[in-house]
Amino acid sequence: MHVKKGDNVLILSGNDSGKSGKIIDVNTTKGTVIVEKANMGKKHVKPKKAGEAGGIVDFERPINASNVMLVCPKCKEASKTKMTFDKDGNKQRTCKKCGAVIDKVNAK
C-alpha cells in the first residue's frame, strides 16, 4: 500500500472529497483505510449492562485506499510517492513533487 497508519492524507472522492486527516487504521487484505473524522456513519447501540446508556454512536467508516493521496510533510501538498533506495540499500518512500524522503520502509 502507498499509505500507512499515521500518514496525513487528502481524500480524493466521495462525500468528504477535499478533506484531509490522519489514517487511524489500514486493512491491507481489503485495501481500505480509516481516516480520522472522515466518512462518518451512525450506529444504533443497545445498552449491554444494566445502567449503561444506549444511543446513537458516530464512527468512521472505511475508504478505499485508491481514494486517498498522501500529503507530503515537506511541501504540504498531496502527491504521488515512489520507492527509492538510499546509499545503504534501504527502501524509502519519496515525494514525486519535491523529491523529499518521507520515511524509510524497512531496514536490512
pLDDT at residue number 107: 54
Average pLDDT over residues 81-95: 92
Whether 3 contacts 9, CB under 8 Å: yes
For the entire predicted model, the pTM comes to 0.85
Residue-wise pLDDT for 42-76, tens only, equals: 999 999 999 889 999 999 999 999 999 999 999 99
Residue-wise pLDDT for 1-17, tens only, equals: 899 999 999 999 999 99
Residue-wise pLDDT for 15-44, tens only, equals: 999 999 999 999 999 999 999 999 999 999
Q: At 65, phi and psi to the nearest 5? A: -65, -25
Give the start-to-end residue ranges of the domains of the chain: 1-71, 79-108
CATH number for the 1-71 domain, one of 2.60.40.10, 3.30.70.360, 3.40.50.150, 2.30.30.30?
2.30.30.30
Q: At 17, phi and psi to the nearest 5? A: -65, 140
Q: How buried is 70 (Cβ within 10 angstroms: 0-12 exposed, 13-18 middle, 19+ buried)?
A: buried
Single-letter residue type at 29: T
